[in-house]
Amino acid sequence: MLNDGYWGDELCIKAIADTFDCVVYIITSNPDKWLLKYEPKCKNNNQLKKCIFLAYSSPIHYDSLKLIKM
């Protein structure tokens, strides 16, 4: 997603959560479901997970987010 021409769908998001053992949060443009959460299938109990945050403009476009320190 950093470079133009690369894209993914919900299956890719789930695969990222499983492969990297992280939680993926998606902030959407849909007011009824503004936050989606994808967790890895194999959960390690009581272990702090890394998180990835993405934006989603319904119904077709994901964007990466950048942390801004204020």
pLDDT tens for 15-27 read 999 998 999 999 9
SS3 60: coil
What was the pLDDT predicted at 62?
Answer: 84
- Distance separating alpha carbons of residues 3 and 70, to the nearest angstrom: 26
What is the C-alpha to C-alpha distance for residues 55 and 58, in angstroms, rounded to an integer? 10
**What fold is seen in the domain 10-64?**
Cathepsin B; Chain A (3.90.70)
CB contact set of 50 (below 8 Å; sequence gap of 6+): 20, 21, 22, 23
Q: Express each pLDDT in 20-63 by its tens digit.
A: 899 999 999 999 999 999 999 876 666 767 899 999 988 778 88
Give pLDDT, residue 64.
81
Q: pLDDT value at position 2?
A: 61
Task: Find the farthest-apart pair of alpha carbons in the chain and give their distance in angstroms, rounded.
Answer: 38
